[in-house]
Amino acid sequence: MNIIYERFCLWLGHLKLSRVIILVSVILFVVPLFTHYYLSKYESMSISQGDNALRYNLEAFSDISTKNVADLKVRIEEMLRIKASVSTELRELEAKRGRLQREAAAASSKADNAKAEYVRAAAELQRLRVSADQARLAQLEAIRRDSPELAPPIQIVPLQPPSILPSLSPSNEINCRMFSCFDHSRCSLTSSFPVYLYDPDIYTPLTGAEVDGFLKTTLRQTLGYNAHLTHNPNEACIYLIIVGESFPFTKDTTTVSDSYKLYLNGSAITTLPYWGGDGRNHVLLNLARRDLSVGSGDAFRGASTGRAMLAQSTFTHNHFRPGFDVITPPALGPPGGDVWADCAPISPARRKYLLSFQGLQPPPKGLDKDQDGTLISLLEKMVKTAPASDVFFLQFECDPPVEKRVTLPIGDWALCGTDRSRRAVLRDSTFVLILAPADRNYVTTALLQARLYEALRSGAIPVVLGGDRIRLPYEEVLDWKRAVILLPKARVTEMHFLMRSFPDADLLALRRQGRVLWERYLSSVQASIDSLLATIRTRLHIPPKPVPHTVGLPAFNDSYFPPRVEPAAVDAEPEETLGPLEAPYSSPTYQRNFSVGLLHGYELWNEWGEPFALYPQLPWDPTVTSEARFLGSAAGFRPVGAGAGGSGREFSEALGGDRPREQFTIVILTYEREAVLAAALARLRGLPYLNKVVVVWNGPSSAGAGSWPESGAPVAVVRGSRNSLNNRFLPYQLIETEAVLCVDDDAHLRHDEIIFAFRVWREHRDQIVGFPGRYHAWDLNFNNGFLYNSNYRSR
């Protein structure tokens, strides 16, 4: 064996690798062939034998005897029983499988709910954290506050009538100014400017004349509506006495001459109970109405009036004291009320006549008596040389002629025709010419102001030749250059070129500003008297009285409000934080009582048209500079990222902006739809920056006393005095924020939409920020009115 083994090893050692590879390859190829052959043969033999056995069994079954049938039946029943048992077990397994599947689904749903609850809890925790941070800041600000909160000024008034002082010599009256002839001690900054009116039926300092009955009744009535009127003369700052327009008791029908009608009784004036010896703080009022002549308009010429201020429509340079006396318009309008019916449309910009004028000038005297003659010649030449497209209506003679009367020779142009005829011409005029009196000693006359009044009322832009030497009503507070073109008479040759150079936008701007000035300060007796008192009050830097609020009728008494219930989840809460949930915080009010008139006095009179009342806030209140919020003026501000800025979470956590923190009030208008209202209130739960919800109940029936959903903020319900959609815009006293969101009860707004609108409004406070789009355009086919619909495009 050893020898064989050694030989095999020797052979194997001399065997080449290539032969080994060939041998192994042959073996690997041959062995599978033989294996496949024998396995196929064995399978064929097994199938053949199986068929024979089956055939044998069937043949054997046919030989089963009858006595084996019972045994077979038992076997079949046993098999059926087994089948039923198996079926039952299968059903039980299937039921168990379904139960397990339901349990798995419930577990999965529970897990999803847990995840959602976790997300909500995390968001709520984030909101609470932000709210806590804001509360800590508010607490620190309250601790560090170094200035008290302001409120409407408390009235401080004198308790005694004016003391008796020596009278002022007539030669010194012309030098009177506010600093030398006015007693400021009776007009504290917080006095609210009380005004006392002498009863015109008792105190009439006239000789042989009486004040026009219409003016007495109208002035007493209009001053009764003025918030500054007082019936206690001891506390008055200003004493107002009516001296005209006055007419003699017996009228002389034999003469129609004009002269200075000195009806003022100097002795009667000095005996007024509160004259104080020199008439300080008194205003002598002479309103022209029926008689616009110079003699009637200047009632104080040659009279001694002491330190009293004069208010009338006609003044000369020698008698007008700038900054002390007041030029008032004639009382040509109604006593008060709405004047929209008298206004002319602002459009179109260009009307039938480029320029119109109607008037008659009595022969003037003096150095300038020939100047107006030359002026008329140049105007007639301008008409002849103008292109055919420029239509003029210049009438220097009245047709029909006016009543002939001897007038004072100052070259003041009389009115032609009737008020209706003049209005018809003015409504067709783009510009209207107003000529200053030829006598340059007059700074204003009642006739000149009557022309100004009619021009502004009809929308004709006044062009005043001689405007460089005249004065217009309340000019110390009104900017007439934005509504009237004031030209020296030497510019008459260039007037046509100047009028043609105005584009349509400028014409409309001039006309609109003229409408504002006329409507607010000249249109009625009440507007004129309110403007007179406001002018004097502005001189004294005294703020007006606060604007009255609207006190809504509460739907529930003070001792009851419907119970609150937790609302069902109507919407999924947003995952992001929209802002902190804070306690109600009212907007600061009346912070600029004494500064608004100094910084925005011009805007109050000429842009906003509201110098008569003091408002809690204004959309145009100035803001502090960006660096001041971090250098001593940080109170109330919530900069994004504590000043570092940021987006996303940092932006949502802080209100930011150029204004201190604030909240908004939601005013919901509803009409007997309690279910809809309840859903609207429920949707407000968790809304940041919400101060209060004011529900305006417009229905005739009482508001429901059942349960109301909890909105997360105080809810107040007021009843409208009448069923009007405008009830939502009333300044209810319940509203304590500057920002107000007015919605209907069926409006569905998401929280993020409301907060976005609130942030946008904070940066554009003088505009309305809203959601629904509206379209408006002038529709010539709709009775020359505006077309207004809900198309998402505006014109």
List pLDDT tens digits, range 667-720.
999 888 888 888 899 899 889 999 999 999 887 777 766 677 888 888 888 988
Residue 791 lies in a domain: no
Co-location of 654 and 682 in the same domain? yes
Task: Tell me the average pLDDT across 657-664.
Answer: 89
Amino acid (one-letter) located at 403: E
Are 227 and 369 within one domain? no
Q: How far apart are CA 209 and CA 479, in angstroms?
A: 37
Long-range contact set of residues 262-266: C-beta below 8 Å, sequence gap at least 24: 262/299, 262/301, 262/302, 262/303, 263/206, 263/207, 263/208, 263/209, 263/299, 264/205, 264/206, 264/207, 264/299, 264/300, 264/303, 264/305, 265/205, 265/206, 265/207, 266/303, 266/304
pLDDT level of residue 196 (50, 70, 90 thresholds): very high
Higher pLDDT, residue 575 or 174: 174
Ramachandran area for residue 167 (φ above 0: left; ψ -120 to 50: alpha; else beta):
beta
Query: What number is the average pLDDT over the span 461-481?
Result: 95
Dihedral angle computed from the Cα positions of residues 489, 491, 497 and 501, in that order, rounded to the nearest 10 degrees: -90
Q: Which two tokens stand for residue 9?
A: 């090893």
User: Domain for residue 44, yes or no?
Assistant: no
Do 129 and 198 lie in a common domain? Answer: no
Average of per-residue pLDDT across 471-489: 96
Residue 272 lies in a domain: yes
Distance CA 418, CA 597 (A): 41
Question: 739 pLDDT exceeds 60?
Answer: yes
Q: What are the residues facing 465 on neighbouring strands? A: 435, 487
Strand 461-465 relative to strand 485-487: parallel, antiparallel, unpaired?
parallel
**Residue 393 φ/ψ, nearest 5 degrees:** -130, 90
Is the pLDDT score of 434 beyond 80? yes
The pLDDT tens digits of the residues spanning 325-348 come to 999 999 999 998 888 888 999 989
**Is a pLDDT exceeding 60 seen at residue 96?**
yes
Reported pTM: 0.79
C-alpha span between 166 and 249 (Å, rounded): 33
**Distance from C-alpha of 735 to C-alpha of 549, rounded to nearest angstrom:** 10
End residue of a domain, out of 300, 327, 354: 327
H helix count then E strand count, the chain: 19, 23
Predicted confidence (pLDDT) at residue 8 exceeds the cutoff of 90? no
Asked if residue 517 is part of any domain, the answer here is yes
Q: Is the pLDDT reported for residue 663 higher than 70? A: yes
Q: What is the spatial distance between Cα 731 and Cα 319, in angstroms, rounded to a whole number?
A: 46
Could you tell me which residue, 479 or 293, shows the higher pLDDT? 479
Residue 497: other Cβ atoms inside 10 A: 10
Last residue of a domain, one of 327, 362, 384: 327
Q: Which residues contact 362 (CB under 8 A, 6 or more apart)?
A: 407, 409, 411, 412, 414
The whole-number pLDDT of residue 43 equals 54
Indicate if 599 and 500 belong to the same structural domain. Answer: no
* CA pair distance 777, 786, nearest whole angstrom: 6
Average of per-residue pLDDT values in the chain: 83
| Shared-domain flag, residues 410 and 508 | yes
Q: Any idea what DSSP says for residue 172?
A: H
Q: Is 108 exposed, middle or buried (0-12, 13-18, 19+ CB in 10 A)?
A: exposed
Tell me if 472 sits within 8 A of 362, measured CB to CB: no
In a domain, 789, yes or no: no
- Domain assignment present for residue 406? The answer is yes
By DSSP bridging, strand 553-554 and strand 690-697 are: unpaired
Higher pLDDT, 411 or 381: 381
Extract the tokens encoding 321: 């004291």
Residue 696 · residue 727 · CB < 8 Å: yes
pLDDT at 146: 58
The region of weakest confidence among 406-415, 502-511, 545-554, 744-753 is 406-415
- Per-residue pLDDT, averaged over 574-579, amounts to 71
User: Would the pLDDT of 481 be above 90?
Assistant: yes
Task: Report whether 621 contacts 742 (CB < 8 A).
Answer: no
Contact 519, 167 (CB under 8 A): no
If asked whether residues 139 and 191 sit together in one domain, one would say: no
Inform me whether the pLDDT recorded for 511 exceeds 90: yes
Bridge partners of 405, per DSSP, are none
Instruction: Calculate the CA dihedral of residues 42, 47, 52, 58 and round it to 10 degrees.
Output: 150
Do 349 and 490 sit in the same domain of this protein? yes
Q: What is residue 640's three-state secondary structure?
A: helix
From 95, 127, 144, the end of a domain falls on 144
d(CA 487, CA 378): 15
Instruction: For residue 402, give every residue at least 6 positions away whose Cβ sits within 8 Å of its Cβ, in sequence order, or none.
Output: 360, 414, 415, 416
Band of pLDDT at residue 403, cut at 50, 70 and 90: low
Q: Which of 12-26, 217-231, 632-646 has the lowest mean pLDDT?
A: 12-26
111-167: per-residue pLDDT in tens?
Answer: 888 888 888 777 777 777 777 777 777 777 666 665 666 666 677 888 888 888 888
Let me know whether 662 and 572 are in one domain. Answer: yes
**Confidence label for 662 from pLDDT (cuts 50, 70 and 90):** very high
Share of the chain above pLDDT 70, in %: 84
Q: What percent of the chain has pLDDT over 90?
A: 38
Domain enclosing residue 98, as ranges: 73-144
Lowest mean pLDDT across 16-20, 353-357, 626-630, 753-757: 16-20
- Do residues 317 and 357 both lie within one domain? no
Is 559's pLDDT higher than 70?
A: no
Same domain, 187 and 300: yes
Lowest mean pLDDT among 370-374, 429-433, 485-489, 726-730: 370-374
pLDDT of residue 406: 47
Joined together, the tokens standing for residue 788 give 């207004």
> Does residue 572 carry a pLDDT above 60?
no
| Cα separation values, 450 from 292, 314, 486, Å | 8, 11, 16
d(CA 700, CA 26): 111
Please give the Cα distance from 743 to 727 (Å, whole number): 12
Neighbours of 185 (CB within 10 A): 10
Rounded mean pLDDT, 362-379: 76
**pLDDT value of residue 295:** 61
- The span from the CA of 713 to the CA of 695, in Å, is 12
Amino acid type, 155: Q
Residue 423's CATH number: 3.40.50
Tell me: do 413 and 391 sit in the same domain: yes
The total number of structural domains in the chain stands at 5
Residue at 534 is within a domain? no
Interatomic CA distance for residues 319 and 325, integer angstroms:
9
The angle formed by the CA atoms of residues 598, 607 and 501, to the nearest 5 degrees, is: 125
Distances (CA, A) of 508 to 349, 462, 487, 514: 6, 13, 20, 10
Distance of CA 659 to the CA centre of its chain: 17
pLDDT of residue 198: 94
Give the CATH number of the domain where residue 612 resides. 3.90.550
pLDDT of 492 over the 70 cut: yes
Establish if 682 belongs to a structural domain: yes
DSSP string computed for 56-117: HHHHHHTT--GGGHHHHHHHHHHHHHHHHHHHHHHHHHHHHHHHHHHHHHHHHHHHHHHHHH
Higher-confidence residue of 102 and 793: namely: 102
* Three-class SS state of 373: helix
CA atoms within 13 A on the CB side of 542: 28
Q: Which two tokens stand for residue 165?
A: 């002082």
pLDDT band per the 50, 70, 90 thresholds, residue 56? very low
**What pLDDT shows up at residue 614?**
92
- For residue 600, the model assigns a pLDDT of 93
Residues 345, 302 share a domain: no
Comparing 445 with 299, the larger pLDDT belongs to 445
Q: What is the pLDDT of residues 231-259, one digit of tens each?
A: 999 999 999 999 888 777 666 544 444 45
